[in-house]
């Protein structure tokens, strides 16, 4: 097994012309003795040549436009949502603080308000947990249109 691995490494290095002269000669001798190995090396050499000759296609102007539009769109939306969420949290927090610290509101109202929001929060968490659990198996999330 270790010998196979060593030979694979030597083969890759030979194809990429990374062997020193002594190793190269040694590997050539191995190839001469093993036609199967020589055939495999030729296949890899062909593959390496093909990979080197591959030219990446330049994106068109339309594709670049789409890329930048999508990037800006995402940045704008994410920034917008972060600001919006922070604003909501701040307002809700401040409203809760005012509600709980106001002397003019009697204790039963405060308790009722707390129960209402705690219950709604708990229900939301339960729905969220259920959704996160099913999301992993939702085959339809990838549907675009």
Binding site for another protein (CB under 8 A): 77, 81, 139-141, 143-145
Q: CB 64 → another protein: shortest distance, Å?
A: 21
Q: Which is nearer to another protein, 62 or 140 (CB)?
A: 140
| Three-state SS at 59 | coil
- List the one residue out of 8, 11, 49 whose CA is nearest residue 28: 11
CB atoms within 10 A of CB 114: 13
Q: Which is nearer to another protein, 39 or 66 (CB)?
A: 66
Mind giving me the DSSP string for 49-78? HHHHH--PPPPPHHHHHHHHHHHHHHHHHH
Q: Which is nearer to another protein, 89 or 105 (CB)?
A: 89
Q: CB 95 → another protein: shortest distance, Å?
A: 19
Q: CB 145 → another protein: shortest distance, Å?
A: 5
């Amino acid at each position: 097994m270790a010998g196979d691995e060593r030979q694979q490494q030597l083969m890759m290095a030979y194809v990429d012309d990374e062997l020193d002269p002594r190793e190269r000669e040694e590997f050539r001798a191995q190839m001469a003795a093993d036609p199967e190995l020589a055939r495999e090396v030729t296949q890899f050499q062909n593959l390496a040549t093909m990979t080197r000759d591959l030219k990446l296609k330049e994106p068109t102007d339309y594709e670049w436009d789409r890329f930048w539009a999508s990037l800006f769109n995402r940045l704008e939306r994410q920034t917008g949502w972060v600001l919006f969420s922070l604003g909501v949290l701040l307002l809700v927090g401040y409203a809760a603080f005012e509600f709980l610290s106001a002397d003019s509101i009697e204790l039963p109202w405060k308790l009722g308000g707390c129960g209402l929001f705690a219950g709604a929060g708990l229900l939301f968490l339960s729905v969220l947990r259920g959704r996160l659990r099913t999301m992993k198996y939702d085959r339809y999330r990838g549907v675009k249109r």
